[in-house]
Amino acid sequence: MEFLADYAGFLAKTVTLVVAILIVLVALAVLRSRGRRGGGQLQVTKLNDFYKALRQRLEQSILDKDQLKALSKEEAKATKAAKKQPAQKSRVYVLDFDGDIKASATDGLRHEITALLSLATPQDEVVLRLESGGGMVHSYGLASSQLARIRQAGVPLTVCIDKVAASGGYMMACIGEKIICAPFAILGSIGVVAQLPNVNRLLKKHDIDFEVLTAGEYKRTLTVFGENTEKGREKFQEDLETTHELFKNFVARYRPQLEIDEVATGEVWLGMAALEKQLVDELKTSDEYLAERAREADLYQLHYVQKKSLQERVGLAASVALDRFALTWLGRLSQQRFW
């Protein structure tokens, strides 16, 4: 028993020492990350090589030796002929935007666009694979302004939507000279919404006062805790209508073929119906479009990676875990609904 007690004491001291060392190391890492400036780097992937690798893997699995040998000779002959008469291929720059409510992906998008505009010409093309259900007006306004830089530079912009481009997502999509979407993608929602709870009556019930002091008649129109007035509601609604009008004018500027009052009702449409409304120009998945372009152009996927501090990496890991948990249960609920 005395031996076990001594061993337990030794083990406790060892664990304490290890934990103390880990705490010191984490603290040093945090201090070092604070002292560094946040930077990032641009990753460039040639998608032609990706498609070629897919094809070659399939050929190796299906074709026999004689067929592979004949195919190899044909490719060698074609490569030799191309070297003799080299043709300048156009370039296609592929960008991805997966939008949340704050359009956080704009941080990377702005750097990707700055990079490609330093090299792209009107003979090239930019393809944006866009997925977004919309969010904050000012955030998506900035994201849209970044895409407008491509149009202003005279470089063709094609927007591909496989799942959803609604509200702020469509604000971005409409800047494309060509909009392509999958048949069952969701588009539209050209409208503005704002909602907030008000617990003023609950506070009054419990004899709790909440004071709202402002300088400026409309500094606060609607509040969560204060008592809202009809005048404040009218002003808030007026602001929403103004924002909606600006949204409509923005879309009409880039898509003049639209009957804007017909589509700017806040409704959404699936791809097939969106084509009839002229919200899109063609029904096709982004994979199909890019595979076609890869036959005649060099495709380069750009992705700006921002270096993250230790705190951000820890927070990101926790966020991913929560997202996976939420998606798992959401998927189970959806399965039960459609069984």
Catalytic site residues?
Answer: 167, 219
Could you give the angle at the alpha carbon of 32 between the alpha carbons of 27 and 38, nearest 5°? 130
| Residue 65 to residue 71: CA distance in whole angstroms | 10
Q: How far is CA 48 from CA 75, 239, 296, 299, in A?
A: 15, 48, 10, 6
Is 235 buried (19+), middle (13-18) or exposed (0-12) by CB count in 10 A?
A: middle
**In this structure, what token pair is assigned to residue 153?**
């530079």
Q: Which residues of 290-318 are buried (b: 16+ CB within 10 A; e: fewer)?
A: beebbeebbbbbbebeeeeeeeeeeeeee
Q: Please provide the DSSP assignment of 18-86 as one string.
A: HHHHHHHHHHHHHHHHHHSPP-EEEEEEEHHHHHHHHHHHHHHHHS-HHHHHHHHHHHHHHHHHHHHS-
